[in-house]
Amino acid sequence: MDTRLIEKASGAIADKYRLQILVTLSEKGSMNSSDIQEMTGLSQPCVSHHVKTLIDSGLVNAQKEGRNLNISLNKEAIKDLSGFLTKLT
């Protein structure tokens, strides 16, 4: 994992709503954008933007199922980031 990826992944975590999404994904396994909209109270375009940011960061995987976009944690990416941090210590 190069530093540009670390920077991107860290940036994805560095937001209250996206962090909430990640934590909820870790508990629930998967969510779609409507679930997130309900959970956060954010507008639909805003949720769409945050979901895109998370997908682009590599921290979550996305799977289209009909009209819904289901996202789930990319555990490998999270482990990679965690491993990078551990190596700093």
Residues of the shown chain interacting with a copy of itself in the complex, contacts defined by CB under 8 A: 3, 6-8, 10-11, 13-16, 19-20, 22-23, 25-26, 73, 75, 78-79, 81-83, 85-89
Cα–Cα distances (Å) from 28 to 4, 12, 22, 45, 86, in that order, read 29, 19, 10, 23, 26
Instruction: Answer with the entry of a copy of itself, DNA, none that 2 interacts with (C-beta below 5 to 8 A by kind).
Output: none
Of 20-28, 43-51, 77-85, the segment contacting DNA by CB under 7 A is: 43-51
Q: Check binding of 42 to DNA (CB under 7 A).
A: yes
What's the burial of 70, exposed, middle or buried (CB within 10 Å: 0-12/13-18/19+)?
Answer: middle
- Cα separation, 63 vs 67, whole angstroms: 11
Point out which residues bind DNA (CB under 7 A): 11, 14-15, 17, 32-34, 37, 42-46, 48-53, 66-70
